[in-house]
Amino acid sequence: MTAPTPATTWSRPVALVVAAAFFMENLDATILSTATASIGRGYGVPAAAVGIAITAYLVAVAAFIPLGAWLAERWGSRPVFLGAVALFTLASVACALSPDLGTLTLARLVQGFAGSMMVPIGRLVVLAETSKSDLVRAIAYLTWPALVAPVVAPLVGGLLTQYAGWPWIFVVNVPVGV
């Protein structure tokens, strides 16, 4: 793989796309917590059983991060990042349409796999397009959405579950992913 050409400026649109992906990945880590009772009722299982879908996502995110470096080296950071966002979005739709807890858990595994590629590979995409003088500003631009997401996720999850139904906690990812 050839080395990327040195960046001469900071690409705000690219950073915005990556920041939105960071927000989406971090939001999904905790948004389910306020919907477990509703999901459990919907599937006819105890609310505690829904924890497997939360755990599946978190384990997949952690387990597959190392694979991202290999994939980015093999196919390039930008295509891997865009593929991860597309897969995450499709997995979000699969989560929303899941007919049972097993299917939801499998869709959450796929979502976690895709999420594991979005954050580190997205950061590479931004760093490759940012001059050294703009690195701090670009990283700060990426960091804030990732920090805000887990704070607002329980509120967003609760409101969506209460007023639209729990599948909407996954549907909310689709416009961001597109």
pLDDT tens digit string along 67-91? 988 999 999 999 999 999 999 999 9
pLDDT of res. 146 = 85
**CA dist., res. 55 & res. 155, Å (int):** 20
> What is the 8-class DSSP label of residue 165?
-
Token pair in block for residue 60: 């997949």
pLDDT category of residue 8 using cuts at 50, 70 and 90: low
**Does the pLDDT at position 9 exceed 70?**
no
Output the pLDDT for position 13: 82
Closest to 35 (Cα-Cα) out of 159, 175, 173: 159
Q: What pLDDT, on a 0 to 100 scale, did the predictor assign at position 7?
A: 53
* Contacting residues for 81 by C-beta, under 8 A, at least 6 apart: 18, 21, 117, 118, 121, 122, 124, 125
Q: Is the pLDDT of residue 174 over 80?
A: yes
What's the sign of the alpha-carbon dihedral 89, 90, 91, 92? positive
Q: b or e along 113-131 (b: 16 or more beta carbons within 10 Å of the residue's beta carbon)?
A: bbbbbbbbbbbbbbbbbbe
Measured CA to CA, the distance from residue 84 to residue 48 in angstroms comes to 29
In this predicted structure, the answer to whether residue 4 has a pLDDT above a threshold of 80 is: no
- ∠ CA 77-82-84, rounded to 5°: 95
Q: What percent of the chain has pLDDT over 90?
A: 64
Annotated domain spans of the chain: 17-177
pLDDT at 10: 62
Burial readout 82-93 (b: 16 or more C-beta within 10 A, e: otherwise): bbbbebbbbbbb
Written as six digits, the tokens of 170 are 């996954």
Return the pLDDT at 133. Answer: 85
Which class in CATH covers the domain with range 17-177? Answer: mainly alpha
Question: Could you read off the pLDDT of 118-152 as tens digits, one per residue?
Answer: 988 998 888 888 888 888 888 888 888 889 999 99
For residue range 23-48, list pLDDT tens digits in order: 999 888 889 999 999 999 999 999 99
Q: What percent of the chain has pLDDT over 70?
A: 94
